[in-house]
Amino acid sequence: MNFKRLFMILCILAFTLTLSGQNFSKGDPVLVKLHDYHVGKIVEKSGDKYRADIYAQTGGYPLVSSSQLIPLKKTWAIGDWILTDWTNERIFIKAQIVYVEAGRYLCVDWPRQDMLWREYTTLVPLEYIKVLGHHFNSDRNYYKPETSIIASDLHSQDGQGATETVKNSNNEFKVSDAVEVEWNGTWYAAKILKQKDNTYYISYNSYDSSWNEWVGNERIRSAHAPKGTTPDIGTGNTIQWKIGDIAWNTFTNEGTYFQVKLLASDAGVWLCMELKSMAVDWKKPENLHVEKPVQTFFPGK
């Protein structure tokens, strides 16, 4: 047996012993390794083992050792590298958190530039790669920090994720909701007075009733929508985009411009989040605009 192989075996043994020495308390969220992996929580300790409530199981609580349990953190930060069950088929890969909102985490698989919203119950610390065994996909096992840039300060206003999920464009606002309304490229605080179909009669805060108007979904967003900065305009009107900037983009390619927030940059393209629906996509810089462009084309043309 060569030295390298012996060293790897010793490392795995040491890590297993570390896991066996873990202590869990009632209610701790965990990932339980049986024939597969299951999200659950500790119900009680029985001797040197634990009973775990794995939510998918209906016939009692399995009794497992601490080496079969992976503790799940309830909070993560932007920039953290994690392991996540990407396809919901118990296959874990490395990914990086680029945005946090209302207890959800937007993660990017840098090798492929794929991105998904994840719950904390699907995020596992990196040090558990060896425990996951063949459930870890090593084919996508590398970082790209030298060519990708992500946000470091894009948490919502309370620093812990928004307390209320941002409303999307599917008519989810109601009378009396605090909102923001776009007027000539700027967003103003407002309140909904009336609602009819997909339009809203609003009053702008600090403005008299002469400014009240009916607006459609394309001009309204939640008062809790992510805020951002404006880009720097260099010499020759060159736009210097940066993390956190707000830009205009067609986004859905259906002829309507939306405001998007720049979350990350990789290989010359920007990861953008549409502010109302919080949908995300990669966009080229030439398709980003400081001001809302005049509509020059229509859906299907």
Note the pLDDT tens digit of each residue in 251-265: 876 678 888 989 888
- Give the other-Cβ count within 10 Å of 7's Cβ: 10
Q: Which CATH class is domain 232-287?
A: mainly beta
Q: Which pLDDT score, from 0 to 100, does residue 54 have?
A: 86
Low-confidence stretches of the chain (pLDDT < 70) are: 1-21, 56-59, 141-149, 151-172, 184-185, 224-227, 234-237, 253-254, 295-301
Cα(80)–Cα(282) distance, rounded to whole angstroms?
20
Architecture, CATH, for domain 178-222: Roll (2.30)
Q: Which pLDDT score, from 0 to 100, does residue 73 have?
A: 87
Q: What is the CA radius of gyration of the chain?
A: 24
Q: Which pLDDT score, from 0 to 100, does residue 167 have?
A: 41
Classify residue 242 as exposed, middle or buried by CB count within 10 Å of its CB (0-12, 13-18, 19+). middle
Q: Which pLDDT score, from 0 to 100, does residue 87 have?
A: 81
Q: Which pLDDT score, from 0 to 100, does residue 67 have?
A: 86
CATH 2.30.30.140 segments of the chain: 178-222
Architecture, CATH, for domain 81-150: Roll (2.30)
Q: What is the pLDDT of residues 188-204, one digit of tens each?
A: 889 999 998 878 999 99
Cα(98)–Cα(117) distance, rounded to whole angstroms?
10
C-alpha distance from residue 16 to each of 9, 39, 78, 257, 292 (Å):
11, 20, 29, 53, 56
Global pTM reads 0.65
Q: Which pLDDT score, from 0 to 100, does residue 58 have?
A: 57
C-alpha distance from residue 247 to each of 136, 183, 236, 289 (Å):
37, 15, 19, 5
Q: Which pLDDT score, from 0 to 100, does residue 168 have?
A: 40
Residue with tokens 């590298």: 81
CATH homologous superfamily for the domain 22-71? Myosin S1 fragment, N-terminal (2.30.30.360)
